[in-house]
Amino acid sequence: MFRVTNEAIDLQELVRFVSDPEAGAIATFIGTTRNHNDGRKVIALDYDGYPEMAEKELARIGEAACKQWKICRMAIVHRLGPVQITESSVVIAVSSGHREAAFAACRFAIEEIKRTVPIWKKEVFEGGEIWIGTQTGEPLAQKDEG
Amino acid sequence: MKIKVRFFAILRERAGAAEITRDIGDGSTVADLWQALQQDFPKLNVAGIRLLYAVNQNYVSPDFKLSDQDEVVFIPPVSGG
């Protein structure tokens, strides 16, 4: 399951999807909207994305993870549109026979999402709004937006 | 040849459009298209921005040669997650 959505993400749906009789572990990662960034008081994040390509890139991340670790199943869902404080912007679930692979693949997936998937966040803060990652700097700059 | 261009994020706001069709000469590269679009939409020239190029939903290098009916997206530094 590799998709983008304008709806709230249901963690349990991903966990159910990766559940597997061969699995001894399921690792999940949830990216959430926090109320501050870079000294600004954040009101919400508003995500834009190139949906067709974003889903292809998410699937590519899944394939890369399967080559690198012995994992059973993987699911990534990224939200687009406005995401309020404390809500989830991205959820990753990975199942594997043993915990090491699930943790590692989960970490790999979120780092790759931040590097390659065509999704952009606009930060709406008190006094303005700004596209994150569009300023001068290296392409695909890693921002501390965890 | 006719190229479909879709704009996202800051470039959609700068272009004032989400999608356009642009005629460009045979043999043009994706970088040529970007140059042409900056003439059409001067506001697309965001100071210091570094773009990646995607054709038909795959990343390509700037010298990628376009074909009729390709879908092109210029990708500002991504910030998902």
Express each pLDDT in A6-59 by its tens digit.
999 999 999 999 999 999 999 999 999 999 998 899 999 999 999 999 999 999
**B60 Cβ under 8 Å from any chain A Cβ:** no
Q: Is the pLDDT of residue B18 over 70?
A: yes
**Contact by Cβ (8 Å): A12, A86:** no
**Contact by Cβ (8 Å): A89, A32:** yes
Domain ranges of chain A: 2-131
Q: CB–CB of B81 and A118 under 8 A?
A: no
- The complex scores an ipTM of 0.94
Q: What integer pLDDT is reported at residue A41 of this predicted model?
A: 94
Number of H-type helices and E-type strands within chain A? 3, 9
Element (H, E) at A82: strand A81-84
Q: Is the pLDDT of residue B52 over 70?
A: yes
Average pLDDT of every residue of chain A: 91
**Contact by Cβ (8 Å): A111, A103:** no
Q: CB–CB of A141 and B77 under 8 A?
A: yes
The fold for domain B2-75 equals: Ubiquitin-like (UB roll) (3.10.20)
How many Å separate Cα A23 from the centre of its chain?
22
Region of A57 please: left (phi>0), alpha (psi -120 to 50) or beta. alpha
Q: CB–CB of A136 and B6 under 8 A?
A: no
Of the listed ranges A59-73, A107-121, A127-141, B35-49, the one predicted with least confidence:
A127-141
Which ranges of A19-138 would DSSP assign to H, the alpha helix?
51-68, 99-116
Q: CB–CB of A118 and B8 under 8 A?
A: yes
Q: What is the mean pLDDT of residues A64-83?
A: 96
Domain ranges of chain B: 2-75
Q: How far apart are CA B49 and CA A6, in angstroms?
A: 27
Q: CB–CB of A89 and B51 under 8 A?
A: no
Average pLDDT of every residue of chain B: 96
Q: Is the pLDDT of residue A146 over 50?
A: no
Q: How far apart are CA A121 and CA A111, in angstroms?
A: 16
Is residue A72 helix, strand or coil?
A: strand
Q: Of A61, A73, A74, which is closest to residue A117 (Cα–Cα)?
A: A61
pLDDT in tens, A23-33: 999 999 999 99
Q: Which residues pair with A106 in a beta bridge?
A: none
**Contact by Cβ (8 Å): A145, A67:** no
Q: What integer pLDDT is reported at residue A134 of this predicted model?
A: 57
Q: Is the pLDDT of residue A144 over 50?
A: no
**Contact by Cβ (8 Å): A55, A122:** no
Q: What integer pLDDT is reported at residue A135 of this predicted model?
A: 52
Is residue A99 helix, strand or coil?
A: helix
Instruction: Choose from A48, A117, A145 for mutation: most chain B CBs within 10 A.
Output: A48
Q: Is the pLDDT of residue A99 over 60?
A: yes
What part of B 22-51 touches A (C-beta under 8 Å)?
46-51
Provide the whole-model pTM. Answer: 0.91
Q: Which residues of chain A are within 8 Å of residue B75 when distances are taken between CB atoms?
A: 50, 118
Q: Which CATH architecture has domain A2-131?
A: Alpha-Beta Complex (3.90)
